[in-house]
Amino acid sequence: MQIENISPSDLCPHYKTYCPCILTEVSQCPLCGQLGEVDTCDCHWPGRCIFLEKRDPIEAPIVAKGYLQHAQNFYLPANGVLYFAFTHSETIADLSLFSSVHVIHQDPPVYLKIPGVIVNINKELNLITVALNVTSIREKYYLQNYPSMQISYSSQPAILGLDRLSYQDSTLIIASGYGTLLIKALVSNFKHAAIQVEDTLPPLLDKQLETVPRNNTTLTSYNQLIILENYHRQKKRIKSIKLHPSLKISLLNNNLFI
């Protein structure tokens, strides 16, 4: 098949839009609002064109163990950043989905330690996606303008009680704010999952979750509940829930973001 004779919609049958190559590699295609259903793109995407990727497959750069090489960021509401970065294979081996980590910039007098959660791992490319909780303009600036960062691992679980949940049981994921960045990685881990989102999702996340059932019943329809909200919302939510003995609850660990 000749690359020149196919359109972006042929390459991406689900969304019919142009998609940056980094995201197609990790199956996280966002909705690009600047293309539509045309064969050329003027969006000035700073990465490599998807058509070029089909001719010249992406090669992961050489990155030292414990370091990250920035690939791309997507800034989302509620202090959320989806941070794509290459790293060393040994660093990848130490990580797992939903590991809690810190992305660190250390260059005196500047020291930044940004908390986040691993939401995707591509071992073929040594590429990870971290959902970062970014609270300042300075943090955003360094993430965007400094390609090399360090990564450290936390022993604390990002989602408390997640290891006690069953893949087979019906699961409701309730999320708001930063917690919405974790939904997509979670739904693939449960056979019968539905979501209840308390905020309006940005197009990037809304498009990724369009096939996931939305909750329109009571909580008693589910055996498992995952609450991805800030501390005050979680506390209020739990007080309002009529608990039953078989209901298993898992919570976002807000201590990571203090």
Q: What Å distances lie between residue 204 and 75, 100, 201, CA to CA?
A: 10, 23, 8
Length of the chain: 258
**Rounded Cα distance, 128 and 70, in Å:** 10
Pairing of the two strands 192-197 and 100-107: unpaired
- The neighbour count for residue 117, using CB atoms within 10 Å, is 27
User: What CATH number was assigned to the domain covering residues 67-153?
Assistant: 2.40.30.10
DSSP class of residue 257 equals G
pTM, rounded to two decimals? 0.78
Q: Is the dihedral of CA 243, 169, 80, 43 positive or negative?
A: negative
User: What CATH number was assigned to the domain covering residues 159-257?
Assistant: 3.40.50.80
pLDDT tens, N- to C-terminus, the chain (258 residues): 233 333 444 444 433 344 444 454 444 443 333 333 334 444 444 444 554 455 445 567 899 999 999 877 777 767 888 898 999 999 999 999 999 999 999 988 899 999 999 998 988 888 899 999 999 999 999 998 898 999 999 888 999 999 999 999 999 999 999 999 999 899 988 989 999 998 888 766 776 787 888 987 677 788 999 999 999 999 988 888 777 778 899 999 999 988
Residue 249's DSSP bridge partners are: 225
**Residue whose C-alpha is closest to residue 69's, from 127, 4, 2, 1:** 127
> Going by C-beta distance under 8 Å and a sequence separation of 6 or more, which residues neighbour residue 48?
21, 58
The identity of residue 83, as a single letter, is: Y
